[in-house]
Amino acid sequence: MFAVPQPVKTEPVENAIEAVPQVEEKVEPIVEEPKEVKPIVEPPKKAPTPVKKEIKKPIKKPIKKPVKKTPPKPKPKAKPVVKPKPQPPVLQKAEVKPTVKTQPTAPIAKIEPKPAYSAEQKANAEQAYLYALRKKIIGYAQDTYPRRAKRRRWEGDVLIEFILTPAGYITGLKILKGSGKKILDQAALEIFQVKMQNHFKPFPKEISRDSWSIKVPVTYNLR
């Protein structure tokens, strides 16, 4: 079974609240600790640099030395002028320059133009020249026929080549074809070297060659 609660008596609040005495809080004054005050040290003042006063030295005036007066030099006495004795004039020999004899200049030959010849005239002149040359060679061949070759009945033809200049000189002499006998070949060369002395008559005016290559046979036969 449940108990029945009994009513609670309530007292008025005013009587219940007692007056609480007010407590005054004491506020202690804040005492600040004294700060160390550093003395202000002023920088030492530099002593003023003394200004050097320029001491002007007294300028010494140059002491003028007394100038010694040199006594005037005595003037030299004028010597009597001796006139030189007149000398006989020297005769200078005139230089005789050697006379240079000038050689007389050779007269310049006038080059006359060659007259123009016809082809027939040139051909006739060349034929006549070759005929005279061969006739001379044949005559010399009989004169130079070696006796030894005659005794042995040696015969033969030697083909000779040479060059003729317009003045008739023989150059470039050589054997183109021998006879087979050295004695006959040597005899053929002696015709030009010994008998003719490497020279024949100059070209006639109709022949206008600068040089002339000639081939001629030298024949050795027993008649």
Q: What is the mean pLDDT of residues 109-114?
A: 62
The answer for residues whose C-beta is within 8 angstroms of residue 173's C-beta and 6 or more apart is 160, 161, 162, 189, 192, 193, 198
DSSP 123-150: HHHHHHHHHHHHHHHHHHHHHT--HHHH
Mean pLDDT of the chain: 76
* Confidence (pLDDT) at 1: 47
Q: What is the mean pLDDT of residues 188-216?
A: 94
Higher pLDDT, 29 or 82: 82
**Amino acid type, 46:** K
Model confidence pLDDT, tens digit, residues 8-42: 555 554 444 445 455 455 555 555 555 555 656 56
Using alpha carbons, select from 134, 216, 131 the residue that is nearest to residue 174: 216
How many beta carbons lie within 10 A of that of residue 200, not counting itself?
21
Q: What is the distance between the alpha carbons of residues 135 and 127, in angstroms, rounded to a whole number?
A: 12
- Domains of the chain in sequence order: 119-220 (3.30.2420)
Phi, psi angle pair for 26, to nearest 5°: -85, 120
